[in-house]
Structure 1
Amino acid sequence: MVVGGLVEAANRLLEGRHGRLGASALRTALVDLYEFWLGRAATAAGVGTGAPGVALAAVGGLGRRELVPFSDLDLVLVHDGDPGIGAVADALWYPLWDAGVGLDHSVRTPAEALQVAAGDLRTAMGLLDVRHLSGEQALTARLASAAREQWRRTARKRLPELADSARARWRRSGEVAQSAEPDLKYGRGGLRDLGLLDAFAAAQLTDRPGEELRAARELLLDVRTELRRELRRDRDVLGAADADAVAAELGLGDRFTLARRLSGAGRAVAYAVDVALRSTVSTVSTVSIADGPRGMFGRRPTRTPLDDGVVLHGDEVALARDAVPARDPGLLLRVAAASARSGRPISPGTLRTLTDSAPELRAPWPGPARRALTELLGAGEGLVDAVEALDRAGLWARLFPEWGAVRDLPPREPVHTWTVDRHLVRACVEAARLTTTVSRPDLLLLGALLHDIGKGREADHSELGAKIAAQVAARIGLSEVDSGLVAGMVRHHLLLPHTATRRDISERETVERVVRTVDGDPALLDLLRALAEADSLATGPGMWSDWKAGLVAELVSRCREVLHGNGLAVPDPLSEDQRELAAAAVRSGRGEVRISAEGKLATVVLAVPAGAELLAPAAGVLALHSLEVHTAELRGHEGGRVGVFTASPKFGSLPDPALLREQFARAVAGGLALSRRLAEKERAYAHPRAERVAPRVLWFDGETSGPSTVVLELRAPDRIGLLYRVAGALRSCDARVRWAKVATLGTAVVDSFAVSPGHGSLDAEWRGRVEREVLAAARGE
C-alpha cells in the first residue's frame, strides 16, 4: 500500500523518536510528511505531477500550512469534466481511508466549486486557502484565482451572514480571553476569528493582520499543537488539568502565565474582529437598509452632539470638528463616557487621534475630569467595551498606569469567571446599579474599579491595593478624607462577606470587631456593603445568593446598632419548633429531622438525645443526599442537642424528609456505614484529573465568645463528605463544636468551626493534635 506507513511516520514525529520538535517545527514537519505521502498516493491514482485535466489541492489547515496533530485532511480533487474522475477519486481516497487518515474531501470542477461557494459561506472562505499539491497546477491556479475574485465581488453582500454566524459561534464557545477553559479554535478571539480577518483582507475590506495578530496566531497554534500532542487526540478546548503540561512544553512556566498570554492574544484578535465587523458590516447595513438607494451615492452620516467636543457620527462616537485634543486633557474621558452611556463604539480614527494628541492628565485632576470619570464608571454595561477600546489603544494605561499589573491576569481562585482586569470593570457595572443605596456613589464606583488592583504581586492584595488606591485617589484630586475612604474600601472589601459567611454574626464579639475595623465610620460600612454585592456579582454565577445577601444585611444591621449606641439583642438560640424537636429526640432516644425550605435554600433541623453524636452523622447524611451545607449551629436543650443547618441541593431537588429522617436515625445509631457509602459516592463523582491543592488550617483567637473557645478555619479542596470527615476528626480530638460555617468556592471550601477542648486547656499541644487530624481528614487519609 502506497500510504501504508503514513500514520506510523506521523506517530514517530509526535512521539519524538528522532528528537522532539517544537510546536511550530512539528506543524511544518507534519505538512511536509503529508504532502510527500499524498504526492505518492496521487501519482498511484493517476494524478501525478503535471497530469493534465486533474489536480489535487489542499484547503483548511493543510492549505494554510498550519496542520496541527490529529487534524483531518481537507482535500479537493479538481478536474475539467473528465468522465472517469470517479475511478480516480476512488483510487485516491480508499488507500487514505485504509491507512486511517481522516478526510474531508470533495471532487469538483472549478465551476462546480464556485457554484457551491456561492451558496455556502464555509466553502467560500475555505477556497481562499486552496493550495496545489499534485497534478495540473494551472487547474488549481484557475480555481484559486476565480475563488478569490468571486469572494471580492460578493463579500460585502455576505458580511451580515458572516457576522451572524460568528456571533452564534461566540455564544456557543465563549471567549478565549475570559474563559477558564478556552476554545482555541471556535472561541471569540480564537483561530476561526483569525480566518475571518484573513477573509476580510482577501476581499480588500481591511488591511492584512499586523505583527500583534501574527504573534497571536502563532501562540494559539502552538497551544493547540501541544494540547493535541499531550492528549493524543483532536481537542481544541484547553482544560485546566492539561494547561500546566502545555505551558511547560512552550517554556511558559505554569498555566497562569499561559492563561495570561492567551488572554492577551484573544483580546487582540477579538478587538480586531470587532473593528473589522463594525467598519464593514455596519456600513453595509446602513447603506442597504437605513439609507436606501441614496446611501449608495455617498450620503454622509449625521453628526449628533453627545458632549463638549464629542459627537455621534453615524453609529460611532467621534470628535467634533472643532475639538482640539492637545488642549483639552478631559476630552479623552468625555469621549469614553459618551461611548459607555450610548453603547456606541469609539471610532478607530478618534482613538488614533487621541493616542497621538491627548495630553496626560496632571495631578490633581481638574473637577470636570473627575466628573467625567464618574460618568464613565457609572455608565453600566457600556463601560466594558469603552474600557476595552481605550486599553487596546494604550489610553487606559495613560489614565491608570497601575492597570498593567492586572491586565490579562488570570484568577487564582476557580470561582472567578473573568481575568482580574475584566472583573474590576464588571464590578463597576454591578456597582452602577447600587449607586442610589450609598451616600457617595462616586467613591463606590472608584472603589469597585480598584478593589483588586493589588493582585498579581507577592503581597496581601488588600493591603497593597489600599496603598495603590490611596495614590490613585490623591492623583485624581480627591480630598484626604475621601482618599482614606477609597483606601479603606479596598483594604476591607472582603470584611463583610468573609465575616458573614465564616463567623457567628449573632455574637457581640464578631459585630464589635467589624465596627472597630471600619473605625466606627457608617459611610465606610455602607460602601463596603454595596461593594460586597458588586464584587460577588462580578465574580461568577452563584457567588451572590439570597442566603449570602441576608447574612451580610443582618451583619450590617447589627453593626449599625452598635454605631448608634444601642444594645445588641441576643437572639433566641432555638425556636419553639426546634425545642420541641429536641424533646422528641430525648423521648424517642433516636435522631429526629425537620425540613423547611424557601426556594432552593433549606433549613434542616436535626436533633439527638444527650450523649449521641450530632455533627458527623448530620453532615454525612446531608452529603449522601448531595446537600451543600452553608451553616451549622449546635445547641443543647433539656437533655438533647439540636443542630440547625442551612443547606441547598448541588443539583436536583430537596430529599424526601421521611427518607432523610430514617437515614439520620440509623446514622446516629451507627447502622448506616456512612464512611463506606460516602467513599463510594466520591469515587463515582470525582473528576479523574481534578487538581488537588494542599489543605491549610488557620487559628483565630478572640473572634468568638465563650470560655476557651477559638475559631479553626480549614481551607481545602472540596470533596464529598468533607464536613463529615472533619467532624469525625474533631470528635476524635475531644473538640466540642459550637457552630460551623461552610463557604464553598468552586472546587475549594473555607470551613470555619468555633471549637473548645472537651477536657483540659486550649494549649499548643491540643491545637497541634486537632490540626493534624483535621488536615488528615481533608486529605482523605
Structure 2
Amino acid sequence: MQAKNDMPGGATDLVRARDQLLEGGDTRHPRLDAHALRQALVDLHDLWLTAKGAELGITADSGLAVVAVGGLGRREMLPYSDLDLVLLHDNVDAARVAEVADSLWYPLWDAHIKLDHSVRTVPQALRVAADDLTAALGMLDARHIVGDVELSNLLIGGVRREWRTGIRSRFSDLVEQANQRWRRSGEIAHRAEPDLKNGRGGLRDIQLLDALAIAQLTDAMPGLGPDVPGGGLKQAHRRLLDVRTELHRVAGRARDQLRAQDADEIGSALRIGDRFDLARTLSDAARTVGYSVDVGLRTAGNALPRRGLARLRRIPVRRPLDEGVVEHAGEVVLARDARPQKDPGLILRVAAASAQHALPMSATTLNRLSEDAPELREPWPREALNDLLVLLGTGRTIVAAVEALDRTGLWGRLFPEWGAVRDLPPRDPVHTWTVDRHLVETVAYASALSTRVSRPDLLLLGALLHDIGKGRTEDHSIVGADLATHIGRRLGLWPQDVRTLSAIVRYHLLLPDTATRRDLADPETVDTVVRALEGDPQLLELLHALAEADSLATGPGVWGDWKASLIRELVRRSRLAMAGEALPQPDPIDPQLLVKAKAGGVHVELTPGDGRYTHVVTIVAPDTAGLLSEAAGVLALHSLRVLSASLGAEGDSAIDTFVVSPKFGDPPDVGLLRQELIRAINGELDLAAVLSKKELDAGLPPNPYAQAQPRVLWTETTVPGQVLLELRAEDRIGLLSRLAGALAGVRVNVLWAKVVTRGASVVDAFCLDLRGPDTPERRAGIEAALLAVVPQPLPPKPKDAEEE
C-alpha cells in the first residue's frame, strides 16, 4: 500500500494517511473497495502502533505489550472505528508505565482519534473479564500488536480459558444481553434504517457466534455453509461489513445506523444497485445471521456442561412426532430409521411437526435433508400436500419453520418461484415486512380465520401465494395468477381448485380496492364484483377472509373498523346478487356394502388408498347410538388420522367409510380393529379416557395451539325434521370420535355425515334428525356440546407479556 510506505511516525500523519486511503480515486491512489480498505486500515494502524511502540521501548523483553481489541483486534478496521487498545505491563515501575501510556495515548488524542484505552497487568485484565460480560466479549477478540508477545499470549490464552470454563454460569446473562440488544435495535431485515452493528442479524451477532465457538459450544458457522441461498454465514458477514464500511465513508464519521438518504450512494459504491437492492441484500444477510444465531444459541444451550445433580438427569428420550420424525433434546430430528433419499415428503413432515409442536428443527436434520432428500415428483403426492396444509394452518409457529427451511434452501426447492420475492423490500412504506415474510405473516393471520370459510385449504394457499407475482415489471396480480396455476397443478390440486386458487391471487385486491374507492350504493359496483368472480360465492367468501389477513399482515393501522365495515357491506351486497351454494349431499353406498349390511354383524375392511400413506377403512355394523364415536375412536386409538369420511346407513346397519393416514408406520391388522371396535360397542373400552391419555402422551394439551375460533353453521333442508349442521374447527386427536360422542350425549340422531380434514382444519357436515322439539334452546345445547370438545383459541397475552 502506497499510504503505508509514505506515512511518517506522528499520529497526525496516521490520520492523513487514513484520509488518503479514503479519498482514493486518482491514478496514483485508486479507490479501494470496502474489503481492501479495511485491510489497508488494519495494516496502517498496525504499522503506526508497531513503530510507536518501538520508539517508546515497548520491545519483546520490556515487560510491556500493546494489545488491540474491537475492530482492530478482529482485523475489521473501519474508516472511523474507535481504537480499542490495552497496554499490558508485568512488574514494571509505575512511573515508567505512566510515561509510556501518556506517550502512546496523547498523540492519538491530539490527532482527534477516538480511543478506548486501559492499562493493566494480566491478572487485572482477567479480573475485569471475569466481572464484566461486555469486557470479556471484547477481550475474546484481543490480538498482539507490539512488545512482549508472551505477555499478550498470557492475556489472550487466559481470557479464552476462563471463558470456556465459566460459560455455564454466564450463558443465561449472554442470552439476556443479546435479547435486550435486539429489543432496543430491532431486526435489520425489516427496519427502514437498520442498526448494522447492534440490530438482530448484525455484526454483534457474528461476534456472539464467535464467542460461542471459542467456548467450544458450537462452531462458528452453525447450520449454514456456502451452498445455501445468499452464500451462507461467511458471505453475510462480508456483506454487512462492506455496507458498514461504506456507511462510514459516506457519513465521514463513525455510524452504525444506515440512513435512508445514504442508501442509494452506498448501494452504488458497492455495485449492488439502488436503495431497494441494498435493502434486499441486507435482509438476506441479516436473516442468514439471525438464523445462525438461533441455531448457535440452541446448540450451545444443549451442549452446556452439566454439574451437580444435573449430571444425574436421564438422557433425553426420542419422542415420536410423525413417520420418520421425532423430538430429541427440544428439537425436531429424523428418526433413526428415516431414509431421506427414498422419502421426498419427509421435508414437509419435519416442518409440519416443527410448527405443530412449536419446536425448532435441528440444523443437522435440515442439512441432511438438504443433501439427501430428492425432489417431490409432480404432481405432489396427496400426503405431501396435506403436510403442507398442516404447516400452513399452525398459526404463528409457521414463521420460524418457513424461515429455517428458506435459509437452508429447502423452501426454495419446494417453491422455486419464491426466489423472486425472497428478501424483496416493499415499495410502499406502509408495509412492515419484506414480501416473502409478508406472505408468511398473511398465512399466519389467515389460519385464525380458517373457520370462516368452507375451504380453509384454499384460503391458506391463497394467502401464501397472493403476492408471489411481485418482483417483476408486470401487474403482480396477473403474473401471480399464472404462477398460482402452475403451482396448484404441481401441488396436485383438482382442476377446479387450481382455477379457484388462481382467481384468489388474481383478485386478492378486488374487495379492498372496490370497497374503499367506489360507491357501494351504486349497483354497478356490486355488478363489477359479481362479474369478476363469475358469481362464485365460495370465491367471494375466500377473498373476504384473505382481505382481512392481508391487511393485518401489512402493518399497524391498515385494518380497522372503517375498512372492515366497507368490505363486509360489499360482500353482503355481492352475496345477495349471487346464486346460493349447493347443500352437501350424502355419497352413494357401494352395492357390495349393502349386501354385508343385510347380513348383519360387524364387518371391518382395510384397503390401500390413493397415496403411499393413505388407506380406506370400511365399517359395517349395527346402527346403535354412539357407533360413529366408537368407530372413529378406535381409529384414533391406533394413530389413524381421518382425512375424510362418508357416513351413512341402510336399514338397521351403519355403513361408514374412512380415508385414513397412519401417524407412524403401517396400519394395524384389520382383525385387531374389528376386535377393539366390538369391545368399544360392548362398553369394554373406555375410549374417552384412552384418547385423553394418548393426547397427553403425545405432549399436546387438549387444545393444541388453536388459532381459529370454531364455528357451527345451521342450514335448513327440504325434508321436515332434518337439518344440516356444519362444524368448522381445528383438528385434534380423536376429534371425530369426540364430536360423535357429543351428539350422542345430547340425544341427536346423525342420519349421515361427510367429514373432511384439510391440513390442520376440519369441515364436518352432519345431517341431523331433529324431529321433536326443534327449538333455539335445543340447537344452542347441541352447539355447546360440540364446542366443548373442539380446540379453542388461546386467550391473548397481556400487552406487557408480549413486550417481554
Compute the displacement of 1:298 (Å). Answer: 7.3
Aligned to 1:229: 249
Match of 2:511 in 1: 496
For 1:103, the equivalent position in structure 2 comes to: 115
Pairing 1:86–2:94 present: no
Alignment partner, residue 250 of structure 1: 270
- Counterpart residue identity of residue 12, structure 2: G
Question: 1:203 — aligned with what?
Answer: 215
Name the CA shift for 1:61/1:379 in 2 (closer, same or farther; >3 Å): same
> Which secondary structure state, in structure 2, belongs to the residue aligned with residue 195 of structure 1?
helix
Q: For residues 159-308 of structure 1, what are the structure 2 equivalents within 5 Å?
A: 159-209=171-221, 211=226, 212-284=232-304, 293=309, 295-296=310-311, 299-308=314-323
C-alpha distance after superposition, 1:306-326 (max 9, x if no partner): 223322212011223343333
Q: Does the 8 Å CA contact 1:47/1:55 hold for their aligned counterparts?
A: no
RMSD value over aligned CA atoms?
Answer: 2.0
Which residue is 1:316 aligned to?
331
| 1:92 to partner: Cα distance | 2.1
In the alignment, is residue 9 of structure 1 matched against residue 29 of structure 2?
Answer: no
Of residues 385-394 and 32-41 in structure 1, the stretch that sits farther from structure 2 once superposed is: 32-41
State the match for 2:761 in structure 1: none
SS at match of 1:34: helix
Question: What one-letter code is carried by the residue in structure 2 that aligns with 1:498?
Answer: D
Tell me the distance in 2 between the aligned counterparts of 1:363 and 1:123: 56
**How far apart are the structure 2 equivalents of 1:490 and 1:170?**
35
Counterpart amino acid of residue 381 in structure 2: P
Distance 1:10 1:42 in 2: 19
Letter in 2 for 1:201: A
> Could you tell me which residue of structure 2 aligns to residue 611 of structure 1?
none
Structure-2 separation of matches of 1:402 and 1:564: 36
The question of whether the paired residues in 2 share the 8 Å contact of 1:379 and 1:429 is answered with: yes
Q: Does structure 1 retain, via aligned residues, the 8 Å contact 2:551–2:559? A: yes
Other-structure match for 1:362? 377
State the SS of the aligned residue for 1:381: helix
Tell me the SS of whatever aligns to 1:359.
Answer: coil
1:521 corresponds to which residue? 536
2:626 maps to: none
User: How far off its partner does 1:25 sit?
Assistant: 1.8
The alignment status of 1:151 with 2:163, answered yes or no, reads yes
1:134: Cα distance to partner?
Answer: 2.2
Q: What SS is found at the alignment partner of 1:129?
A: coil
Secondary structure (helix, strand or coil) at the match of 2:499 reads helix
Counterpart-to-counterpart distance in 2, 1:404 and 1:61: 34
Residues 1:69 and 2:89 aligned together: no
Establish whether residue 463 from structure 1 lines up as the match of residue 478 from structure 2: yes
Contact 1:157 1:284 in 2 (8 A): no
Alignment-derived partner of residue 26 in structure 1? 37
- Residue 75 of structure 1 deviates from its aligned partner by 0.6
Shifted more, 296-305 versus 75-84: the winner is 296-305
1:139 aligns with 2:151: yes
CA deviation map 1:573-600 (0-9, x unaligned): xxxxxxxxxxxxxxxxxxxxxxxxxxxx
Partner residue of 2:412?
397
1:37 to 23, 33, 48: 48
1:127 to 114, 139, 142: 139
Q: Is the 8 A contact 2:58 2:64 kept in 1?
A: no
Deviations, residues 602-637 of structure 1 (Å, cap 9, x unaligned): xxxxxxxxxxxxxxxxxxxxxxxxxxxxxxxxxxxx
- CA shift, 1:303, in A, is 2.2
Q: Which consecutive residues of structure 1, in runs of 5 or more, have no partner in the other structure?
A: 566-781
| AA of the residue aligned to 1:92 | L
Question: What is the Cα deviation at residue 9 of structure 1?
Answer: 3.0
The answer to whether the 8 A contact 1:501-1:548 is kept is: yes
Kept after mapping to 2: 8 A contact 1:63/1:131:
yes
Aligned 1:392-541 pairs, distance under 5 A: 392-541=407-556
Contact 1:518 1:525 in 2 (8 A): yes
Matches of 1:446 and 1:556 in 2, distance apart? Answer: 21
1:775 paired residue number: none
1:338-349 equivalences under 5 Å are 338-349=353-364
Shift of 1:142: 1.9
Q: Helix, strand or coil for the counterpart of 2:11?
A: coil
- How far did 1:541 drift? 1.6
| 1:235 to partner: Cα distance | 1.4
Separation of aligned partners in 1, 2:440 and 2:143: 45
CA–CA separation in structure 1 for the residues paired with 2:107 and 2:486: 70
Could you tell me how far apart the structure 1 residues matched to 2:146 and 2:369 are?
52
Structure-1 separation of matches of 2:172 and 2:541: 48
For residue 407 of structure 1, what is the amino acid of its counterpart? R
Secondary structure of 2:188 counterpart: coil
The Cα offsets for residues 464-495 of structure 1, whole Å up to 9 and x where unpaired, read as 11011111111111111111111011001111
Q: How much does 1:8 deviate?
A: 3.1
Deviation of 1:305 (Å): 2.4
Cα deviation digits, residues 711-750 of structure 1 (max 9, x gap): xxxxxxxxxxxxxxxxxxxxxxxxxxxxxxxxxxxxxxxx
Q: Using a 3 Å threshold, how does the CA distance of structure 1 residues 7 and 495 change in structure 2: closer, same or farther?
A: same
Q: Which has the higher contact order (CA 8 A, sep 6+)?
A: 2
User: Aligned partner of 1:139: which letter?
Assistant: L
- Residues 245 and 315 of structure 1, relative CA distance in 2, 3 Å threshold: same
In the alignment, the residues of structure 1 paired with residue 368 and residue 78 of structure 2 have an alpha-carbon distance, to the nearest angstrom, of: 41
Classify the secondary structure of the residue corresponding to 1:478: coil
Partner of 1:676: none
Question: How far has the Cα of 1:47 moved from its partner?
Answer: 4.2
State, as a whole percentage, how many aligned pairs show the same letter: 58
Q: Decide whether the 8 Å contact of 1:374 with 1:442 is kept in 2.
A: yes
Residues 145-179 of structure 1: CA distance to partner in whole angstroms, max 9, x if unpaired?
A: 22222222222332222111112211221222232
CA distance in 2, matches of 1:333, 1:178: 27
Equivalent residue, structure 1, for 2:705: none
Does the 8 A contact of 1:417 with 1:540 survive in 2? yes
- Counterpart position of 2:58: 48
CA distance in 2: counterparts of 1:396 and 1:4, whole angstroms: 54
- Confirm or deny: 8 A CA contact 1:3 1:40 kept in the other structure: no
- Quote the offset at 1:15 in angstroms: 2.4
CA distance in 2, matches of 1:141, 1:253: 44
Deviations 1:536-578 (A, max 9, x none): 111112211222112211221222232269xxxxxxxxxxxxx
Aligned partner of residue 134 in structure 2, secondary structure = helix
Query: Taking structure 1 as reference, are residues 34 and 448 closer, same or farther at Cα in structure 2, changes over 3 Å only?
Result: same
Render the CA deviation track for 1:188-226: whole Å, top value 9, x for unaligned: 111111111211222222224355322222111110011
* Structure 1 partner of 2:396: 381
Q: Structure 2 regions of 5+ residues with no counterpart?
A: 1-8, 227-231, 581-804
CA gap of 1:364–1:233, structure 2 versus 1, over 3 A, is same
Aligned-pair distance for 1:37? 3.0
Distance 1:47 1:192, change over 3 A: farther
Letter in 1 for 2:389: T
